[in-house]
Structure 1
């Protein structure tokens, strides 16, 4: 008995040991399957029943189902799985890979994905409005749900059915999309789509017409003698569609008409132009019911503008010239007396005055009435700023010479040893500014654009007040002596003292000798220059003896330095003349002088005449030329209508057009480039606009509208919400209806999502589009499979489809026997 028991135990041990590798082998086969099909991991098919017909194949090999046999016969490895994908192992009408993606058993002929075996009616189809259709499908098995969508909107859901239908009636004459989705929870889905065009009834050729009237007395009634308004836009809006379906323009008599209008309800909408107000309703509902609709009239009255005017002064009451005053986007610039004026429509405004180096000031509640002037004065408070040394390039100083620089790109302040003390900021390309705080008074040089050989000398007498210095484009210095040993310097106009004294370079004290003034022709600016070691004009060289009969350099003669020239200011042969022999009778200081290249007037650029001061500086009167004006209108080049709020710029001055498109710029005489610009228009520049004193130069502009893009796009992504990643290679379909009337046409396109899951239909005209997705295998819907999009002209619409993996919605299935 003991021996028999021992033999039985040994036999059972052997059998048990043989079973362990068998079970391990089955587990490894499932691991290979899971690696190949990660979407099936944890699902109902992720078990031994995938290949076997019994729940526990560990006792022996166990019978294999048809899929398991195909897997075995092809090597039982990853390559075998790929080989048998296109097979239908269980002959249920679905290839193996489709069953796996839908999580049904590829070896079980009674377990297969849902499939729509028949549907009606045929697609595409079309009906005349109003239209009624019944859509139906038959599925190859009982599914958990059948869901119906109309134009992307959920309409109906049926549960546990193998056939379903959906009846719908509509009068909307557009392209519709009907979609049915048959879903078996955990086992995939099937979808059927119909393109259904509902055609509007033929137009009955009815008309809607009326007049646009200039209601001069504003009573809202078309009175005798009141004329029509030509060139105004009228729009026709379809109440059912909710969109503008047609536009027209009033003719020379103010008449408009919409033709070929079908029966229905509409709204006629008038255009309200700037400077006008409606005295009747701006939109009027009408109903067309088998006859024309006439006398849908609109009355409008022109609004007489008012104005805001006043002065801008500083706290002490002195006028501020060039201040900007703005109200409702319209800007005016004060003249030399601080006056401004803004023409503006009646209303209540906030008005702001601002000026360089002043704090801006805003006044609210400024009331403007039609045809009246509202006075609004401003007193601005100076802005407290740190003292600055400002260097300005002056194009008039060396305008006839070859320039060393045309603009300032860098500027540094150097001490007498050449070390950098400060670096300038550049408010513009002609100006450099150094903050004086922390800089000690003394002698310095300014280096412009790294030109170390052309330093500009300067002296900081005090760091508590602004210092202004000017230089010509040749960066000429204004000193007597050399750069290494300057003796005198000259404060160049405009200076803080409003004069041009010669200054002792070492002491900073004003001198009364050795000054020489040049007044360039045809300008209100002056250049002050002191001659140093060489004559600045060749015809006053040492070889020219016309002035004193001696071969003395002109600077020696004119400056009488060191005081040995007794015939200073006399003409040839020492005659006691007043220079009239060569230069005309200029005993008294003339009102103006010729250009510096002319042959007359030189002595009297420095001296009053023979009785004037022999030495010393003569401060000439700087005559500022009176301003001129550039004015005109800015209109639409297509419609000739005024453009309100356009910006016109000339010489750094800016004006904004009023409601009638008018602008005006007060500006110094000269020749300018004038630019007009406005939102949604191409800007326009006119060069060579000449302005003279006390005159108005007319310069009108006709701006070309910027035409928006004719086409747009519809794009989006196919998103797996479980991973928030895109799904590639998914088919996306587009069907659209564009145009209107006889120009209506349909568009059909199909694309596939790219490697990131993105899709895009581009170059689409305005119209109504239906976008449908092809549901990826192994996924369920999160968003509706259909989108209904109304695309405006030039619009780019972004929309996403979202799906969820079936496996993500199911709890993991236990693996039986593995």
Structure 2
């Protein structure tokens, strides 16, 4: 008589569960190896990588103007754009008819006015000079920026973002030159707080200015070096900055935002107060609207940030994640929005984009 060993019902159930689990794991593994269409990939779990693990973290960043991803100097020329620096405002110009105005689009162009030597004019060895206009190596601009309400030329504002992935302390020693005037600031993009300000370089009257910080401790987040470049003589403008930013204790915790470690989209607002309501800035009659409040709303309509325009009528919303946002002006007594008439503008930004907006207001 053959003995038949009975398998308990619970054991049979365990065998079925274990085999089913193995088959499911194998299915997911095969999908991950051969995922080539959206329908199949939709079954995979959402495994967004941890930026602190996958980013190219460093203990030192070269923040100089005109440097490529590998740290090499980029030669100037027509249509050559800095991969890290960008222009985050578009100030009004005085009676300007130059066709080069059309090249003002948020890009920082690599130039060399009159093809000067590496250390002549505002050039510095180890950098390339930047301008908000595509001047190449021979063009001049011939336009002047408008005056703000305090009688001061409105600067072009450049921004060089970077990321701090873990809390750290930093050191830097930057050298700057500019035509006609330039100064720099270190900005916390989340709050627009100014953390440090450089001396001002004035063309022909000062030596290259050095800007130094030591053991400046910063929390993880998005930061920028901003350059404020003023044009006063209507011929040419440009600036250069040379130097590295390092962590004080050598820890690898900083990175270029272009590598995806953090996103730094920018929405820039220029607020203009009109007298004749023609939808453009008229020097001598129109004003730059300083001290006005603008709200930033997310896609759900929730106010997530508020900024006040500075003396130049500018407000900057930097360090923004990819997404759709609405900018809303807070009306002031005696004024009505004329363009856009709703007093709001909705934009979608991604991939470290700069969006330049203008708001016009007429007397009520």
TM-score by length of 1: 0.14
Q: Which has the higher contact order (CA 8 A, sep 6+)?
A: 2
TM-score by length of 2: 0.27
